[in-house]
Structure 1
Amino acid sequence: MTSSYIALGLEGSANKLAIGLIRHVICRGHKDDVTVLANIRHTYITPPGEGFLPRLTAAHHREHVISLIQQALSQADIDHTDIDVICYTKGPGMGAPLISVAVVARTLSLLWKKPLVGVNHCVGHIEMGREITGAQNPVVLYVSGGNTQVIAYSEQRYRIFGETLDIAIGNCLDRFARILRLSNDPSPGYNIEQMAKRGTKLVDLPYVVKGMDVSFSGLLSFIETAAVNKLASGECTPEDLCFSLQETAFAMLVECTERAMAHVDSSEVLIVGGVGCNERLQEMMGIMAKERGGKVFATDERFCIDNGIMIAQAGLLEWRQGSTTPLEDSGCTQRFRTDQVLVSWRD
């Protein structure tokens, strides 16, 4: 017996507005056949040296969301009547952008008479990563602009083994990019990565690991001062500072991830989130995993960077278990923790 379901996913927790359509074909006794029907994204890009404000980011999302949904439906060659469930990012994220997209999801749910599912952004990353890479039960390193967590699954929860005590790794990279006035196109972190490839001198920076947790605020403050003093004196180049920042911060993440692998006796690491696209982070994690007889799983920018497909994937898995989000509870939660979600679709 075969069943087929289609989910629409809407993501807008930060500066990326993304719409995704995914189909699950379920055959009894076989693995689900998962097909990406559409994966559309539009990024709000600010001038060099500037971050993105919640109010202006929300305005960007409101301006583009309808056209992106229409584009996704056209690309998938389906009608809204073919959709079984509408999924949206409930949190975590920036309040105004989250709300602007949630309003659209609620409106479509009422207009098209479709059930609604609010999705945890972090769980969306994990489920999309598991689906694309085929990782079975990995330790997950979730690294993005707003989140840094080391996670492992146990008893229908994604348990947080360690996390940042202050700012996320992506936020650290973005803020340093502003100091150097690097372009925000396609992203500050990507441009730091390209500069780091040309760096040759490793500048000594604070390395802050506290148990299973990491801290980046002191590292950022230190390197901001170094950017002024060392660049002015000619001791190093901007490329050297980008190289040093990556090497130091990523080493911290690798250390905590390795301890989590040892604790749960896992040989797999899955890297998700926007910073997970970084080739040097993947390389460093790969060296560590190989020494332990393990393997690293990662995705490319289509699924690593915030996308609507990951929201559709996690939402559809939840909906298939009979869970929906009532309209009266269809708001947003800026601090929606990964371990708050009941992962009912896993054993």
Structure 2
Amino acid sequence: MVIAIGFEGSANKLGIGIIKDGVVLSNPRHTYITPPGEGFLPRDTAKHHREVALDILQTALKEAGVTPDQIDVVCYTKGPGMGAPLISTAVVARTVAQLWKKPIVGVNHCIGHIEMGRLITGAVDPVVLYVSGGNTQVISYSQKCYRIFGETIDIAVGNCLDRFARVLKLSNDPSPGYNIEQMAKGGTKFLELPYAVKGMDVSFSGLLSYIEERAPQLIKKGEYTPADLCMSLQETIFAMLVETTERAMAHCGSKEVLIVGGVGCNKRLQEMMKLMAGERDAVLYATDERFCIDNGAMIAQAGIEMFKCGMTTPLEEASCTQRYRTDEVEVKWRD
């Protein structure tokens, strides 16, 4: 029986979760929300994390009904992510590990998402579509490693949606992507946008520039509504993601597909992926916002798997790296 606490703060959410052998005991988080039309700066996000860390830690322990002496291992996000928030969260995790005299495990953020998705959905060996504000990757496990079949060659899908939400001055509460999803439901007129699939990779920057430049005039002239543009953007980028994911499934002969990451909550993306999976006699696995969006429990879950295999991080190496590739980690816990 292993109880792990996970600290996640790679972007604008600070989450602290506690897991006991695959059971989520607590998973509180707090989001740093900026005014409409604005993104979040690393230094301000790090300041937010420092200000709320102790409150969230107390909430996590209280909800889980555990004391520090019952915790077996402290896990934290090593990367990838934004430098300042990562560092501020790692400092909290290192401090807690030393105060409680516990081993520490640095976890790859992407692998945290994958392991949480596998735990919650029961997916065994899926092709994974990992879509978030900072990452877009098609992944499959092979020979002790999560292999990247395809990825974005410029910006992540979540970043693309967030930046278009700023153009429309949509609220950042609860997230720009969520508000685009809701607005897109009212769209009826499709605007054809650049479709950029390059082999197994995707590109979103040209598509974003195209719609950013045209949106104000199209709306002003009454040719398209903001809802039409949100719908057009979603349909185009999700079609690109479904295409590359299907190609990976064909290559692997996989009958399972798992969507993880913050954008994975999007019901339209899940619907499109389910249609594709159904045509292949495959099963779609997805989770809701509790586990799709960055959270501490996912870091605890991946950390437990690593800890059980004897993978711990020496305190002097418990640092962060903004560019920590999914395929850099040796996955010792899977057959």
- State TM-score, norm by structure 1: 0.96
Please identify, of 309-318 and 227-236, the stretch whose mean Cα deviation from structure 2 is larger.
Answer: 227-236
Match of 2:316 in 1: 328
Q: Which amino acid aligns with 1:173?
A: L
Residue of structure 2 in register with 1:137 after alignment:
125
Per-residue CA deviations over 1:152-199 (Å, capped at 9, x if unaligned) read 000010000000000000000000000000000000000000000000
Q: Paired residue for 2:140, among 148, 152, 160?
A: 152
In the TM superposition, residue 296 of structure 1 has moved relative to its aligned partner by 0.5
Q: How is 1:205-220 mapped onto 2 (pairs within 5 angstroms)?
A: 205-220=193-208
Q: CA deviation at 1:35?
A: 1.0
> Alpha-carbon deviation of 1:99?
0.1
Match of 1:259 among 244, 247, 272: 247
Paired amino acid for 1:104: V
> After the TM superposition, which residues 139-288 of structure 1 pair with which residues of structure 2 at under 5 Å, given as runs?
139-288=127-276
Deviation at 1:225, TM superposition (A): 1.3
SS at match of 2:2: strand
Match of 2:88 in 1: 100
Match of 2:73 in 1: 85
Which deviations, in whole Å up to 9, do the C-alpha atoms of 1:295-347 show, x marking residues without a partner? 11000100000000000000011001011000111110100000001110001
Whole-angstrom CA distance in 2 between matches of 1:134 and 1:319: 21
In 2, Cα distance between the equivalents of 1:259 and 1:74?
45
Cα distance per residue 1:211-255 (max 9 Å; x no partner) = 000000000000001212211211100000000000000000000
1:70 paired to 2:58: yes
What is the aligned partner in structure 2 of residue 340 from structure 1? Answer: 328
Cα distance in 2, alignment partners of residues 162 and 35 from structure 1:
32
Matching of residue 296 in structure 1 with residue 284 in structure 2? yes
User: What RMSD, in angstroms, separates the aligned Cα atoms of the two structures?
Assistant: 0.5
**Alignment counterpart, residue 5 of structure 2, candidates 8, 11, 25:** 8
**Equivalent of 1:311, from 272, 295, 299?**
299
How far apart are the structure 2 equivalents of 1:331 and 1:318?
A: 17
**Secondary structure in 1 matching 2:27:** strand
Number of residues of Structure 1 aligned to a counterpart in Structure 2: 335
Measure how far apart 1:98 and its partner are.
0.1
Return structure 1 stretches of 4+ with deviation > 4 angstroms.
Answer: none
Counterpart position of 1:21: 18
Partner of 1:27: none
User: Percent identity between the aligned chains?
Assistant: 72
Q: Which amino acid aligns with 2:62?
A: S
**Runs of 5+ unmatched residues, structure 1:** 25-33
* Unaligned ranges ≥5, structure 2: none
- 1:274 partner amino acid: G
Cα distance in 2 between the residues matched to 1:39 and 1:231:
41
Distance in 2, matches of 1:75 and 1:294, equals: 37
Q: Counterpart of 2:283 in structure 1: which amino acid?
A: K
